[in-house]
């Protein structure tokens, strides 16, 4: 199917996922240039009414929602013979993959992820959609750290426009490690069922493992109904009692003992991370009914205060969105694994590390390995690292005794790089005025080919370049500065001498070195300037160290 264009718009590029029910392709939207995900119901299931109904249910559920924490539906197949859905493309990993890579997540990161799942569920629940299959495999984390809830394939619609179904006839719906006790019993699911699943996902993020495991799906399902999970603090000592309390309440066996809504659970998690518990609204005062309908007035006042409280909770949660995304990006998305760099040349090792966003520091030691070969690395291959972290490489400088290279005629920077590769030191003992370009090596000791110990010193004489001092006498000061720059020199100390003749004021009276002398590039030429009798000062120019 690669290369196929759907609806004269979506060109399939790559198969990126496949499950028991559907296949997902990455595609290019030819109209917008954006990448999208196209989900096909498998051909062998297209004649199966149950799976076809489930696929249509996903489209119906997705069409009701548009939220930044939900993988949004963009288009629906116009071909009844080949059902497919077009979703936004999320370039990242599933939460399950991230847990497998990292093990336990930090409390702050895990809670921030859970809050975003709850934000998506709050929107879905308000649209009358129960997800029924919340699990890490259906939570996507993109490369910027944003959380997206996906796969509403077994969602149940409730509310005024109810999509009716007989849940009992369809058996148990959901994933055994994450579904609620009522799902395990085959009972009707409610919004509270999704919150139970979020509690299980949060437990797994904090503990690094699911709360219930067994030899068969039935054994796991029975534990959801009858058993209590091992306390979180026994598996993750850094989990605070307040966060553990939220997880415990979310995973209550009786749906009535769980949080009343996704918003209230998210608010409880937000408060659990604060240094001190945020004081809630004052309890409502009871009122006695009066002849003027005081009881009705009290009920209206209570409903108003409840709406205001929910609004305030929403604002508090939204205020933490940017900070939460930062921590998710820092702790999860912006991570990589240490590559194997041993045996590479240092240059190639630095390229490989750069591709993973890792910085390199290197030290050199004598060895029998070829010069510039990486011998060891400070972090083993496959270990998790944050992008921007530093890996220390030990690099071979060759054998302990080695011949001195030919440095004469080389630029100093090149000589230093060559000396570093083989583990010897350079010492500049003199700079001579010479026609050779500045920093060119003129002499070396020991000479080329002589044997030296690792860490030994080679003394160098380098060129300071050669410049001829121009004639400056009689030039205006600014003209003299320009002449020095052209000669690769720069002005030095500026002295002043008073003169009555107006045509001499501001001109160079004398210079040192004098015109025609040879000097090193960048050398300073001292000047004496004629000034007015009142001693007006000629400003010194702003020049670079080499006068260029």
Respond yes or no: is residue 133 known to be catalytic.
Answer: yes
Q: What is the DSSP string of 73-107?
A: EEEE-S-TTS-EEEEE---EEEHHHHHHHHSSPPH
Q: What is the DSSP string of 393-436?
A: EEEE---SEEEPP--TTSBHHHHHHHHHHHT-EEEEEEEE--SS
Token reading at 433: 């005025």
Integer Cα distance of 539 and 548 in angstroms: 19
**Of 53, 133, 254, 257, catalytic:** 133
Q: How far apart are the first and last CA of the chain?
A: 63
Integer Cα distance of 113 and 93 in angstroms: 14
CA atoms lying within 13 Å on the CB side of residue 464: 15
By the 10 Å C-beta count (0-12 exposed, 13-18 middle, 19+ buried), 308 is classed as exposed
Q: How many CB atoms lie within 10 A of CB 386?
A: 13
Integer Cα distance of 446 and 444 in angstroms: 6
* Contact residues for 282 (Cβ-Cβ < 8 A; gap 6+): none
Cβ-contact 365, 178 below 8 angstroms: no
- CA distances from residue 416 to 99, 343, 410, 413, 498 in whole angstroms, order as listed: 46, 23, 10, 5, 50
Residues with catalytic roles: 133
């Amino acid at each position: 199917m690669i290369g196929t264009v759907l609806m004269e718009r979506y060109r399939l590029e790559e198969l990126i996922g496949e499950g028991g029910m559907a296949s997902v392709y990455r595609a290019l939207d030819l109209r917008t240039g954006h990448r999208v995900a196209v989900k096909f119901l498998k051909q062998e299931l297209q004649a199966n009414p149950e799976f076809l109904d489930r696929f249509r249910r996903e489209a119906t559920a997705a069409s009701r929602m548009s939220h930044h924490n939900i993988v949004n539906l963009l288009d629906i197949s116009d071909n009844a013979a080949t059902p497919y859905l077009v979703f936004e493309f999320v370039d990242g990993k599933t939460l399950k993959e991230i847990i497998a890579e990292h093990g336990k997540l930090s409390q702050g990161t895990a809670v921030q992820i859970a809050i975003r799942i709850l934000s998506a569920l709050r929107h879905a629940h308000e649209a009358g959609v129960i997800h029924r299959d919340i699990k890490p495999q259906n939570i996507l984390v993109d490369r910027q750290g944003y959380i997206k809830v996906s796969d509403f394939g077994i969602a149940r619609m409730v509310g005024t426009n109810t999509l009716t179904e007989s849940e009992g006839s369809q058996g148990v719906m959901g994933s055994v490690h994450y579904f609620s006790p009522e799902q395990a019993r085959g009972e009707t699911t409610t919004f509270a069922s999704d919150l139970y699943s979020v509690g299980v996902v949060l437990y797994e993020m904090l503990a690094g493992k699911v709360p219930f495991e067994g030899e068969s799906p039935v054994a796991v399902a029975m534990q959801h109904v009858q058993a209590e999970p091992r306390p979180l603090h026994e598996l993750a000592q850094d989990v605070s009692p307040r966060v553990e309390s939220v997880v415990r309440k979310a995973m209550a066996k009786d749906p009535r003992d769980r949080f009343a809504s996704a918003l209230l659970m998210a608010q409880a998690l937000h408060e659990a991370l604060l240094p001190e518990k945020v004081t809630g609204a004052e309890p409502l005062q009871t009122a006695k009914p009066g002849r003027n309908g005081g009881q009705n007035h009290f009920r209206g006042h209570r409903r108003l205060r409840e709406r205001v409280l929910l609004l305030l909770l929403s604002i508090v949660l939204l205020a933490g969105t940017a900070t939460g995304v930062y921590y998710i990006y820092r702790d999860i998305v912006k991570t990589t694994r240490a590559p194997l760099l041993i045996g590479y040349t240092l240059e190639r090792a630095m390229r490989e590390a750069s591709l993973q966003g890792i910085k390199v520091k290197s030290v050199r030691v004598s060895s029998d390995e070829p010069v510039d070969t990486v011998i060891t690395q400070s972090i083993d291959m496959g270990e998790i690292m944050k992008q921007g972290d530093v890996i220390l490489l030990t690099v071979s400088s060759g054998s302990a005794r080695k011949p001195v290279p030919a440095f004469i005629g080389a630029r100093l920077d090149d000589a230093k790089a060559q000396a570093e590769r083989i583990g010897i030191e350079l010492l500049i003992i003199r700079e001579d005025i010479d026609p050779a370009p500045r920093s060119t090596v003129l002499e070396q000791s020991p000479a080329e080919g002589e044997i030296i110990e690792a860490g030994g010193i080679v003394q160098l004489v380098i060129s300071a370049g050669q410049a001829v001092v121009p004639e400056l006498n009689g030039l205006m000061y600014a003209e003299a500065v320009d002449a020095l720059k052209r000669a690769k020199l720069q002005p030095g100390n500026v002295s002043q001498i008073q003169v009555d003749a107006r045509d001499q004021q501001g001109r160079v009276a004398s210079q040192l070195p004098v015109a025609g002398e040879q000097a090193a590039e960048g050398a300073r030429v001292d000047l004496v300037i004629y000034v007015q009798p009142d001693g007006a000062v000629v400003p010194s120019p702003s020049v670079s160290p080499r006068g260029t």
